[in-house]
Structure 1
């Protein structure tokens, strides 16, 4: 199947790679199917969750371990149950990125990670009650430092 997106123009979508959010994502419950896009032009590990239902909607996401190596939120088992059996080997955790006009004020939402079961491609954005994590955690300097260390 092909879709035309705002950011990536026309792209071919392998339906086996779709990620399904049975409850949608926070703020957009009607958006349930996404494609995770690895943009070759993105730096610092940033990827995109591209909506299939709304081609104009794509949100930047990142592995939280890139910006906080000890990230390990406490998530209640009943919130993960709809995803099937979750293990370290079959799961992927991402957090959403907010990029304001002043890029130096870029943040991630560590309070509401996206958990994906890689085997059945089901996902959920979960609000954790873990007080160690912020909704707006600044990452610009962290990404800049990471890229400098990597020689990018």
Structure 2
């Protein structure tokens, strides 16, 4: 166990197996390599949003979301070579997260479909990549996408 200071959750005890190493860092923060994923379970109104929290820089905590919650057919095109550094990827150990931009007006919240975080849950290694999909937006509107998904499920 290690004590970690976080941006939104104060000091927390973190088990070693919850640490994810990004050998190349993440875009804009290449110097920080060690992260964990934190969930705010008390906010029931925003399911699926969690935080990628740097263990080296307390103020660095990025909101992230499972892409399949907002784009059910999300299928990033990735060069296998790029993923070699995080170990063999299988359907069971693959974790994909998208960074979110959350402005004051929530209807303008967007996800970056172009630069997902890819994590191997077995090796606890991750990388952030740029995918080759031409139609994937850097600012994909999450609010509109969630409304569409609700309509498809007949919830509106």
Other-structure match for 1:67: 70
Taking the aligned partners of 2:39 and 2:126, their CA distance within structure 1 comes to 18
State how many pairs are aligned. 151
1:123 corresponds to 2:132 = no
Tell me the TM-score normalized by structure 1.
0.92
Other-structure match for 2:17: 16
Tell me the TM-score normalized by structure 2.
0.89
The runs of 5 or more residues in structure 2 that have no matched partner are: none
Other-structure match for 1:46: 49
The runs of 5 or more residues in structure 1 that have no matched partner are: none
List, as ranges, runs of 4+ consecutive aligned residues in structure 1 with deviation greater than 2 Å: 141-149
Alignment of 1:57-96 (within 5 A): 57-96=60-99
**Cα distance change, pair 13–147 in 1 and its aligned pair in 2 (3 A):** farther
**Cα distance change, pair 108–119 in 1 and its aligned pair in 2 (3 A):** same
Instruction: Give the CA RMSD over aligned residues.
Output: 1.9
1:140 corresponds to 2:143 = yes
